[in-house]
Amino acid sequence: MKAIISDLHSNIEALDAVLEDIAKRNIKEILCLGDIVGYGPSPEVCIDRLKEVRIALLGNHDEAVLTSDTTDFNARARRAVEWTRKRLNDGIQGDPKKMERWNFLERLTPVVDEGKFLFIHGSPRSPTKEYVIPRDIRNRSKMQDIFRRFEGVCFGGHSHLPGVFTEDGQFLSPQDLCNVYLIEAQKAFVNVGSVGQPRDGNPEACYVTFDDETVVWRRIPYDVQATRRKIHETEGLDDSLGDRLLVGK
């Protein structure tokens, strides 16, 4: 059994609740699909928690923090990237802990291809940047092109909207599936949801467990108010980034 987590977004309260749930299930193998940082108030400790994961991918926010290129970002996301970069990078010379975290971000990889399973943050066409969202099922050429680029199952995050896109053109939410998807002969693109900033109307942290045949979405309550408070207390982060956590939007 493996656990796949994504879009932690510097939310340590959500991440720790998820890691505790993973430990309770005795799952040793964790894969992270990116966006470790950005939006939230606790980037350092989130990076520190990920030392043991088998796969850690690069998300668009991680990339923006490293490069300071925020071209595709809206104003509050850009401010959060700038705040995060400053916090991780200022005074890095002569601070081995800071250097180690920065090096960890620099080592994040955009794609892991294991044949039957492909792991990315966004989409196989543009690993860190492209969104695949439920209404894309009406964009058949986009979906067909994406499905041509992998075999088996592609796991992604980025949209913060959990669910599965099937090769025959459907989008099924975890509610549609009673939280369980049985991997079939047809290809599937599975969105694992977001640990640190869910956007499907459910504020509980989201991740999946996966045993090569079955994907199960798990929702884990955590102290949302504590994260919200920290965001409100952080000068460089917009208050709305805390408020949205309450409603999962």
Output 35 or 200, the one with its CB closest to Fe ion.
35
How near is the Cβ of 205 to Fe ion at its closest, in Å?
13
How far apart are alpha carbons 36 and 9 in whole angstroms?
Answer: 5
Q: Which stretch binds Fe ion (CB under 5 A): 2-10, 43-51, 69-77, 89-97?
A: 2-10
> DSSP secondary structure string, 67-127?
H---TT--HHHHHHHHHHHHHHHTT-TT-HHHHHHHHHHHH-BSEEE-SSEEEESS-SSST
Report yes or no: 146 and 167 within 8 Å, Cβ to Cβ.
Answer: no
Residue 16 is a binding residue for Fe ion (CB under 5 A): no
Output 47 or 183, the one with its CB closest to Fe ion.
47
Q: Which stretch binds Fe ion (CB under 5 A): 5-13, 82-90, 146-154, 215-223?
A: 5-13
Residue 130 is a binding residue for Fe ion (CB under 5 A): no
> DSSP secondary structure string, 16-84?
HHHHHHHHHTT--EEEE-S--SSSSS-HHHHHHHGGG-SEEBPPHHHHHHHH---TT--HHHHHHHHHH
- Token pair of 101 as six digits: 């975290």
Residue number of the CB atom closest to Fe ion: 35
Helix (H), strand (E) at residue 141: helix 140-148
How near is the Cβ of 212 to Fe ion at its closest, in Å?
26
How near is the Cβ of 92 to Fe ion at its closest, in Å?
24
**Alpha-carbon distance values, 137 to 10, 123, 145, 192, 194 (Å):** 31, 14, 12, 18, 21
How near is the Cβ of 186 to Fe ion at its closest, in Å?
27
Output 7 or 130, the one with its CB closest to Fe ion.
7
How far apart are alpha carbons 221 and 237 in whole angstroms?
Answer: 23
Binding-site size for Fe ion (CB under 5 A) equals: 2
Task: Lay out the site mask for Fe ion across 24-63 (x = CB under 5 A, - = otherwise).
Answer: -----------x----------------------------
Q: Which of 172, 170, 152 is nearest to 162 (CA)?
A: 172
How near is the Cβ of 150 to Fe ion at its closest, in Å?
21
Residue 7 is a binding residue for Fe ion (CB under 5 A): yes
165 DSSP β-pair partners: 171, 189
How near is the Cβ of 35 to Fe ion at its closest, in Å?
4
Output 167 or 204, the one with its CB closest to Fe ion.
204
Length of the chain in terms of residues written? 249
Residue ranges in contact with Fe ion by CB under 5 A: 7, 35
